Structure 1
Amino acid sequence: MNRKDLVIMGFVICIVIMLVIPMPNPLLDVLLIINISLSLTILLVAMNTNDPSQFSIFPSLLLITTLFRLALNVSSTRNILSHGEAGKVIESFGSFVIGGNAIVGFVVFLILTLINFLVITKGSERVAEVAARFALDAMPGKQMAIDADLNAGAISDAEAQQRRKKISQESEFFGAMDGATKFVKGDAIAGIVIFIINIIGGLIIGMVVHGMGFAEAAKTFTLLSVGDGLVSQVPALLLSTATGLIVTRSASEDNIGDDLVKQMAAYPRLFYVVAGTVALMGIFTPIGPLSTFPVAGVLAFGGFKLQQTMRTKEVELETSPEEAEMEEVRSPESVVSLLHIDPIEFEFGYGLIPLADANQGGDLLDRVIMIRRQCAIELGIVVPVIRIRDNIQLRPNEYVIKIKGNQVAQGEIMLDHYLAMSPGIDDESVVGIDTVEPAFGLPALWVTEEVKERAEMAGYTVVDPPSVVATHLTEIIKRYAHELLNRQETKSLIDNVRETSPALVEELVPNVLSVGDIQKVLQKLLREKISVRNLPTILETLADYGPYTKDTDLLAEYVRQSLSRQITLQFVAPGEPLQVITAGPSLEKTISDSIQQTEQGNYMAIDPDTSQRIFAALSEQVNRMLQMGQQPIILTSPAIRMYMRQLVERMMPEIPVLSYNELEPEIEIQSVGVVSI
């Protein structure tokens, strides 16, 4: 514990001691002055706080100061009833402040107590209760707004975390203030009870113990009780005011003094109206101009000066945007900012604005959040923030998807229709507008709400427009995931593994492979839609084979063999055989003979005529499997798999190419076709 902790703990212990041990009057005077000073300090801090959550310690501080004040009340009551005196401070408040008149002092004390209890404390309690309820009710909406801004790219991850932390602090603060106002309310009641006890107990003790007459006892103990009550009520009133200021303070960039001046002085002409009203009161009422004209003159002069100040600011505001724009054009950073390219962009025409506008029922931003979560689970990478914006250059119902500034897909949807895809047998009763499903290129129809149920009964797959867009966007992200994985993202993935397997990462990076080499291996896996979520296994394999070769193509093949169980489950349902197209011996020999080895790595050199014959034979087998309603899969030996993939990728990039070593031994393989040349 540091010195500050010891001081705070010592202060709390002293408060407890004051409740039990009598305090000498000189020490009591000092503590009463400290109490008033502390309350005034808290009030001034509350006035200069821009946001209530900036004074988050206030509820706890309110409890400590209330306990301190009650301890002082107990000590002063003990001294009053025991010795008929309670120090210079209480005596001064009882004689000098109220002129030694007990009745006047009683009335003043009663007014202060009523103001504190009925006006300030009661209102603060209600405001704190409502603020706590509203803060809790608004939390889900604020969290969703933060997620939407994060996905739209309006804020960074750090800013999102900071805003979430602020929302949590606000809800906790107002919840604590709802309970802390009960301290102030209870303190006001305790002050009244202690005041009554001092008067009644003082009269009895004065006459019985000290032998005073009734008049002398009443005068002595009433003045002391009133003085003690005023000394307690002044700090209590200050703290109650601070509590009211805190709970009624809305979030602002300025403190209460700045806001008061700005907002009260926003209408300078109204000062003239008030000045005229005050002047007329002096003319037509017995008040007289001597009291009203000076006030009216100050108000009129203040309105004049404020009007001049506002005109000057208007002129500055008119010129400042033009100057700022010219200064921005002249600055070298103005061109640099134009070089930024968003990893993923989704642009749409003005007719599709309701998709992204939550006020019109659009849930595209929520769907984008789910897309990023789905891609993280299926691919094992963190998809960058998707920039969503409207583009007036597009047709109203058109949208485009860009990867690193280049358009890779486009589509057109009808918001007031549903997309219906045929099960294979068309139903003539299902009529609509012919179109093509944008994600997979299947023929489909845009049908109305009335035709939707009929289409579903006929076996059509019917989806709403937001689902069409979300599916298309998901497929594009999966197709171009290898382009989205840069070195920085790769380093973040490696750092995530470092938290659980530090020895593995330290062995591999950078002693065996660089981050760039690992990035190339992961990109090759993602290019063939192999998830890299099992990154520890991938890094283990790279650490095993990295010392023997730096060829990332060959390393990727070793990694695929280590992920054999994952790849098997990706293409084969449990308990079912795997139907494949195998590469014949002639084809494998042709590819093996065409592999050229160089210092930069191996590559395949095959003549165009042979390539055409391979494509023709392969297309025949693929089309036959498609007609059978099966997913075409090509199976080769491990030695030529990556070269076979290079051939297939040119014409049929969606066809997976596997090797025997990438499949689990217990899987039954059925060859439904052989590609030979």
Structure 2
Amino acid sequence: MKKADIGVAIYVLAAFIMFIVPIPNWLLDILLACNISIAFTILFGTMFTKEVLDMSFYPTMLLFTTIFRIALNVSSTRLILTTGDPGQVVATFGNYVGAGNLVVGSIVFIILIIIQFMVINKGSERVAEVTARFTLDAMPGKQMAIDADLNTGAISDAEAKVRRDKIQEEANFFGSMDGAVKYVKGDATAGLIITFVNVIGGIAMGMVYQNMDAMAAIEKYVILTIGDGLVSQIPSLLISLSTGILVTKGSKDADFGTVLVSQLFGIPKALYLVGAVIAGLGIVTPLPDLVFLTLGLIFIVTGRMVAGTLETAQIEGEINADEIAAEEIRQPENVNSLLQVDPIELEFGYGIIPLADVNQGGDLLDRVVMIRRQIALELGTVVPIIRLRDNIQLNPNQYIIKIKGIQVSEGEILFDHYMAMNPGYVEEEITGIPTYEPSFHLPAIWITEGQRERAESMGYTVVDPPSIIATHLTEIIRQHISELLTRQDVQNLTDNLKETNPSLVEELVPKLLGLGEIQKVLQNLLKEGISIRDLLTIFETLADYAATSRDTDILTEYVRQSLKRAISMKFFPQGETTSVVTLDPKLEQEIMASVKQTETGAYLTLDPEKTRAIVKSVGDEIAKLENLGKSPIVITSPIVRMYFKRLTEDYYRDLIVVSYNEIDSNIELQSVGMVTA
């Protein structure tokens, strides 16, 4: 055991020993002195601690000091009643602090009890209760603020964890303090009852067992009892004061004394007024002239000194700021920070800043948090931190989206307008500024706040600027999520799965497949919008087929077939007949005949003319589906699917290519065309 553990154990054990075993008066003197010392230690500790969590064990301290103080009360009571000599400390407090007078001592003791009960304990109890309630109520907001800072890159994952732990510790601390204050209040109550019992018992002992007359017994035992009450109530008062200081600390990281003095005597104008008022009272009223004039002059001089100090500090601050700026210019630039490339960046002009500024009512940060959650639920992968920053080089209403430092899309909004889009059945048009919706490039118009209600009543889809940016950003992330999936992300997903399925992960990684090969499979799935959330099924399939093939494209096709229920749910609505386009069997044979296998993978060797003919035929069939208001879906045989997708993906980004083996048996399909060449 550590020395500190032994010391605490002895401290608590001593209290229980004093309840049972009588102790001599000289030992009681030592223990009472120790009790007073501990009370002062706690008082000054709470005054000068910079953060309340530095005293996180304060509720436990209250419990220990309370039980120790009550044990001392029991020991002193035992000595008073049995020997009439409880030691020098109790006698001194009774004769010196109480002025050796029964009435004076009683009044001083009663005043201490009133101060502790009515002022300090009552206030501390109420503050602790309210603080605990507000701390618990504020936890969700603080958690959201941490998530927002984490998503914008203002803090790292480690810093976010530290801040979350700190919030939890604060909630636990103030919750404990709410109950621990009752210890102090109960201690004061117990001290008052013990004192009353000591008075009655002492008088009875003196008159019955020592044959003293009533006045002599009262004089002796009441003075000793008051001394005992004072020597226990003064440490209790110090502990109550410490509790009040701790629960009322406004600043969590400031020096108590410095802040207190600077806030009280830090405004020269206030000190001038106080000095003038005090000096005026000394001149106009019969109050002591010398005292009030001197005190008023002291306040005025102090105000002048404080004003001079503030002026000097301001000048020094300006000089230091200039020196720091000059030093930064002179220092060689640290280019390491410039080498970092953010996975996703959203840059915007100064006109869009209010949307991202929480103080101005902007909720763009909260929407970014929701985007990451939405993608995680939809595709089963974690979106990297999205960096938001303003860029004065952009137009005021312009924003751009970058993936790995390269701009991939842009848009422009009007801050105080709404975007209205015609879903196709609006008969009466509304006037506005023509524009295009940035995500899907649909025609739209900008309308004012006053036109919004009318546009909605006419059937327009009306969207506010933050929603436009959030939707655009979400679509860009969906399109590029496959290239954003890193090996470290795959490692994190693997580690999560390993917690519940360790045998599967150990069989697959790295015995059958390496981390990079699993990454390629997951990227292939994400590239076509297939969720990887069901990682268990994906890993089970890879473990089944990796022994026969390590070709990531072929493994991806096996995984897709295992995920056919999810694919069917995504692309084919339940209970509806889905219109699709099929592939000419002859064309499938031509495609397979043109596949060349190499060590680095397979590729197509189709004639360029044939490729153009296929692409044109696909375009014609997609047009048929779009005219019907359907999504462009092509159904192929399993062995052809990945090659046909690779052939057409550069021309038709939104084309969905699905094999027969990836469709659930209960799905109803209707072929409306066939791709030929």
TM-score by length of 2: 0.89
Distance 2:94 2:281 in 1: 39
Match of 1:650 in 2: 650
**CA distance 1:633–1:455, change in 2 (3 Å):** same
Provide the C-alpha distance between the structure 2 equivalents of 1:670 and 1:386, rounded to a whole number of angstroms: 42
User: Aligned pair 1:94/2:94, yes or no?
Assistant: yes
Q: 1:292 to 1:105 in 2, by over 3 A?
A: farther
Q: What is the aligned partner in structure 2 of residue 355 from structure 1? A: 355
Counterpart of 1:574 in structure 2 is 574
Q: Gapped runs of 5+ residues in structure 2?
A: none
Q: Distance in 1 between matches of 2:20 and 2:55?
A: 32
* Cα pair 2:413 2:465 within 8 Å, conserved: yes
Question: How far apart in 1 are the matches of 2:416 and 2:293?
Answer: 69
Q: Separation in 1 of the partners of 2:604 and 2:540?
A: 29
Q: Which moved more, 1:288-297 or 1:488-497?
A: 288-297
Task: Determine the structure 1 residue equivalent to 2:185.
Answer: 185
In the alignment, what sits opposite 1:213? Answer: 213
SS at match of 2:500: coil
* Superposed CA offset, 1:199-254 (max 9, x none): 33322321222111233222211221121112112211211221121112123323
Moved more, 520-529 or 310-319: 310-319
Distance across 2 between alignment mates of 1:292 and 1:204: 57
- Paired position in structure 1 for 2:118: 118
* Map of 2:397 onto structure 1: 397
Please show how residues 366-515 of structure 1 align to structure 2 within 5 Å: 366-449=366-449, 451-515=451-515
SS in 1 for 2:444: strand
Aligned residue type for 2:43: L
* Whole-angstrom distance in 2 between the partners of 1:84 and 1:292: 53
Q: Distance in 2 between matches of 1:636 and 1:332?
A: 61
CA distance in 1, matches of 2:287, 2:471: 82
SS of the residue 1:499 aligns to: helix
CA distance in structure 1 between the aligned counterparts of 2:539 and 2:388, rounded to whole angstroms: 35
Task: Give the letter for the 1:673 counterpart.
Answer: G
Question: Equivalents in 1 of 2:312, 2:452: separation in Å?
Answer: 63
Task: Name the amino acid aligned to 2:556.
Answer: A
TM-aligned CA distance change 1:664 to 1:175, over 3 Å: closer
In structure 1, C-alpha distance between the alignment counterparts of 2:449 and 2:269, rounded to whole Å:
58
**Residue by residue, what CA displacement relative to the aligned partner does 1:8-41 show, whole Å, maximum 9, x if unpaired?**
4564454345345544333322322221122122
1: CA distance, partners of 2:615 / 2:435? 30
Aligned in 2, Cα 1:265/1:366: closer, same or farther, shift over 3 Å? same
Q: Match for residue 672 of structure 1?
A: 672
- SS of equivalent residue, structure 1 residue 174: helix
**Mean Cα deviation higher: 466-475 or 615-624:** 466-475
User: CA shift at 1:490, angstroms?
Assistant: 1.8
Report the residue type matching 1:614 in the other structure. I
Aligned to 2:127: 127
| C-alpha displacement of 1:651 | 0.9
Give the partner amino acid of 1:26. W
- Which amino acid is 1:126 matched to? R
Number of the residue aligned with 2:542: 542
CA change 1:522–1:419 in 2 (3 A) is: same
TM-superposed deviation, 1:512:
2.8
Question: Which residue does the alignment assign to 1:163?
Answer: 163
* 1:549–1:316 CA distance, 2 compared to 1 (3 A): farther
Note the alpha carbon deviations across 1:23-68, whole angstroms, 9 max, x for none.
4333322322221122122112212211122212212321321222
2:590 aligns with 590
Instruction: Decide whether the 8 Å contact of 1:51 with 1:250 is kept in 2.
Output: no
1:50 maps to 50
The within-5 A match list for 1:218-233 is: 218-233=218-233
Given that 2:632 and 2:654 are in contact with CA atoms closer than 8 Å, whether structure 1 keeps it comes out as no
| Structure 1: unaligned runs, 5 residues or longer | none
Tell me, yes or no, if the aligned pair for 1:419 and 1:444 is still in contact at 8 Å.
yes
Shift in Å at residue 460 of structure 1? Answer: 3.6
Alignment CA distance shift 1:309-1:417 (3 Å)? closer
Q: Determine the structure 2 residue equivalent to 1:244.
A: 244
Which AA in structure 2 matches 1:492? Answer: N
Letter in 2 for 1:377: L
**1:80 match:** 80
Q: 2: CA distance between counterparts of 1:576 and 1:280?
A: 92
User: Residue type matched to 2:388 in 1?
Assistant: I
1:148 positional shift? 2.2
Against the structure 1 CA distance between its residues 227 and 591, is the aligned structure 2 distance closer, same or farther, given a 3 Å change threshold? same
Deviates more, 1:494-503 or 1:589-598: 589-598
Displacement after TM superposition at 1:337 (Å) = 1.1
Moved more, 477-486 or 250-259: 250-259
Q: Which segment drifts farther, 418-427 or 38-47?
A: 418-427
* Aligned residues: CA RMSD: 3.4
Give the Cα–Cα distance (whole angstroms) in 2 for the partners of residues 325 and 508 of structure 1.
56
Give 1:336 deviation, angstroms: 1.5
Change (3 A) 1:528 1:301: closer
Go from structure 1 to structure 2 and tell me whether the alpha carbon gap of 1:316 and 1:431 turns closer, same or farther (over 3 Å shift): closer
Which amino acid is 1:108 matched to?
Answer: V
Quote the offset at 1:107 in angstroms.
3.5
The residue that corresponds to 1:35 in the other structure is 35
1:39/1:235 contact within 8 Å kept: yes
What secondary structure, in the 3-state scheme, does the structure 2 residue paired with 1:234 have?
Answer: helix
Measure the CA separation in 2 of the matches of 1:432 and 1:292. Answer: 75
Q: In the alignment, residue 607 of structure 1 is paired with which amino acid?
A: D
Q: Shift in Å at residue 544 of structure 1?
A: 3.1
CA 1:511–1:310 in 2, change beyond 3 Å: closer, same or farther?
farther
User: What do residues 332-390 of structure 1 show as CA deviations (whole Å, max 9, x unaligned)?
Assistant: 66212122222222233333334333344432222222221110011111111222233
Q: Could you tell me how far apart the structure 1 residues matched to 2:255 and 2:606 are?
A: 76
The answer to whether the 8 Å contact 1:52/1:250 transfers is no
Distance 1:470 1:291 in 2: 67
Percent identity, aligned pairs only, is 53
The answer to whether the Cα contact below 8 Å between 1:431 and 1:451 also exists between their aligned partners in 2 is no
Partners of 2:393 and 2:641 lie apart in 1 by 45
Amino acid in structure 2 at the alignment position of 1:221? Y
Deviation at 1:457, TM superposition (A): 4.6
Of 6-15 and 242-251, deviating more is 6-15
Q: Provide the secondary structure at the position in 2 that maps to 1:511.
A: coil
Distance 2:247 2:195 in 1: 29
Give deviations 1:634-675, integer Å, cap 9, x for gaps.
122223322211221111011011222322345444332111
Please state how far the C-alpha of 1:458 moved relative to its aligned partner: 4.5
What is the distance in 1 between the residues matched to 2:566 and 2:249? 57
Q: Distance in 1 between the 2:357 and 2:299 partners?
A: 51
Structure 1 CA distance for aligned equivalents of residues 275 and 635 of structure 2: 94
Worse overlay, 156-165 or 661-670 = 661-670
Aligned equivalents of 1:390, 1:51: Cα separation in 2 = 35
d(CA) in 1 for partners of 2:313 and 2:513? Answer: 61
Q: Superposed, which structure 2 residues align to 1:199-348 within 5 Å?
A: 199-260=199-260, 263=263, 266=266, 314=314, 316-329=316-329, 334-348=334-348
**Cα 1:669–1:122 shift into 2, 3 Å:** closer
2:561 counterpart residue number: 561
Task: Work out whether 1:69 is the aligned partner of 2:69.
Answer: yes
Further displaced range: 568-577 or 639-648:
568-577
Q: Distance in 1 between matches of 2:63 and 2:482?
A: 58
**Larger deviation: 242-251 or 342-351?**
342-351
What amino acid is the match of 1:583? L
C-alpha separation in 2, matches of 1:671 and 1:195: 97
Structure-2 change in CA distance of 1:35 and 1:180 (3 Å): same
**Aligned counterpart, 1:172:** 172
Secondary structure at the residue paired with 1:154? coil
